[in-house]
Structure 1
Amino acid sequence: MKTLRLYPDTSVFGGSYDHEFAGPSRRLFELVSEGVFILTISSLTVDELLNAPEFVRQSLDALSPASVESFEITEEMERLRDAYIRAGVLGKSSEADALHVAAASVANVDMIVSWNFRHIVRYDKIRGFNAVNLLNGYKRVDIYSPLEIVEI
C-alpha cells in the first residue's frame, strides 16, 4: 500500500501544544513516526516554524528525516497562490494560507492537514481551491483536520 504524503501547515505543529488540538496533532506525528504517513513540508512552513517558540519547532525536529520530505517554494506555486486570490477564494491578507495550499497542490501531495478552519479547512474554501486547481491543470486537493486523519 502506498504511504500517503501529507502537507501539514504550521497550525498542526502548534496544535501539539494547544489543549483543544494536542491529542490529534500528537497522534498524527506518532503515525508519521510509525511510517503510516510521510510529511511533505515547504520552505514556507519551515520559515514560519523558525518564528515559532522553540517547543513548537521541536515537533518537527523530533521526526526522523526519513519521514519528512521538504521542498522550496517555486514561481509556479506563487502563480497558483495568486490565482486563488484573483478568484476570491482568499483575500490578499491571507496570502500565506493561499501559498500553503498552492505549494501542496503543485507538490501533488495526497492531502493537506490543518487546524485553520477560517481559511483552509472549510467547505467553501476547499471548493474554491479545487475549482482554481482544475482550471489551472492541477488535481483536486483533499483538505482535512488532523482529527479526521488520525481516525482513518
Structure 2
Amino acid sequence: MFRYVETSVISYYTARPSRDIVTAARQTLTQEWWEDARQRFDLYVSVLVVEEAKAGGAEAAQRRLAAISGLPILEINDAAEELGKRLMDEGAIPSTRAEDALHISLATVHGMDFLLTWNFRHINNAEMKARIRTVIEAVGYECPVICSPEELGGIEP
C-alpha cells in the first residue's frame, strides 16, 4: 500500500523536541512510526513536500531533506492542479490553502492509499474529510485515507 507523507509529518519527525506536551508526544510517536514505516511501507513525497522541506532555517531544512532522501517523489501534473483547484472552488479546502489542496490532489491522482498528515486544521479533520471525499469521488477518483501516523498505527507495542 502506498503512503503519501505530507510535510507536517516530516517536520514532526525532524524537529527539535517541543515544550508543548501534545506536540512533544506527536513528535515521539512520529519518530517511532517513521523508523518502522521506512522499512515496512512504500512511502512517497512530492515535489511540493520537497519545496516545503527546504523552507525555514538551514539546519532544520537540511534535517527534513535528509529524512526524505531516497523516497520516490511525485510530480505535479495538470490533473493534480485541476483537482486541487476544484477542492478549493467547491469549498472543501479554503482558497487560502492552495498547498493543502495540492497535497490532497497529488496523493489522489497518483493513486496513494493513504495521505499521512498532522494538519488537523485543513486536511485531517472530520468535517473537511467528508467534503474532500465528496469532491474527489464526484470527479471519478478514489479518495486516499487521510490520517495521522498515530491513526494509521503500525507500531508494535
Give TM-score, length-normalised by structure 2: 0.84
Classify the secondary structure of the residue corresponding to 1:7.
strand
Map Cα deviations across residues 95-143 of structure 1 (whole Å, 9 max, x no partner): 1101000000001111001010000111111111111111111002201
Aligned-residue RMSD, C-alpha: 1.8
Aligned equivalent of 1:58: 63
- Shift of the alpha carbon at 1:10? 0.8
CA distance in 2, matches of 1:31, 1:132: 33
CA distance in 2, matches of 1:11, 1:109: 17
Map Cα deviations across residues 60-90 of structure 1 (whole Å, 9 max, x no partner): 524662xx21121111101000110111011
| CA distance 1:57–1:86, change in 2 (3 Å) | same
Aligned equivalent of 1:69: 72
| CA distance 1:6–1:122, change in 2 (3 Å) | same
After superposition, where does 1:3-152 map in structure 2 within 5 Å?
A: 4-16=1-13, 17=15, 18=18, 19-34=24-39, 36-53=40-57, 54-55=59-60, 57-62=62-67, 65=70, 68-151=71-154
| CA distance 1:122–1:98, change in 2 (3 Å) | same
CA distance in 1, matches of 2:62, 2:42: 18
Unaligned runs of 5+ residues in structure 1 are none
CA distance in 2, matches of 1:5, 1:55: 26
- Shift of the alpha carbon at 1:144? 0.6
Unaligned runs of 5+ residues in structure 2 are 19-23
Classify the secondary structure of the residue corresponding to 1:119.
coil
| CA distance 1:33–1:63, change in 2 (3 Å) | farther
Q: For this pair of structures, how many residues does the alignment match?
A: 146
CA distance in 2, matches of 1:97, 1:144: 14
CA distance in 1, matches of 2:7, 2:140: 26
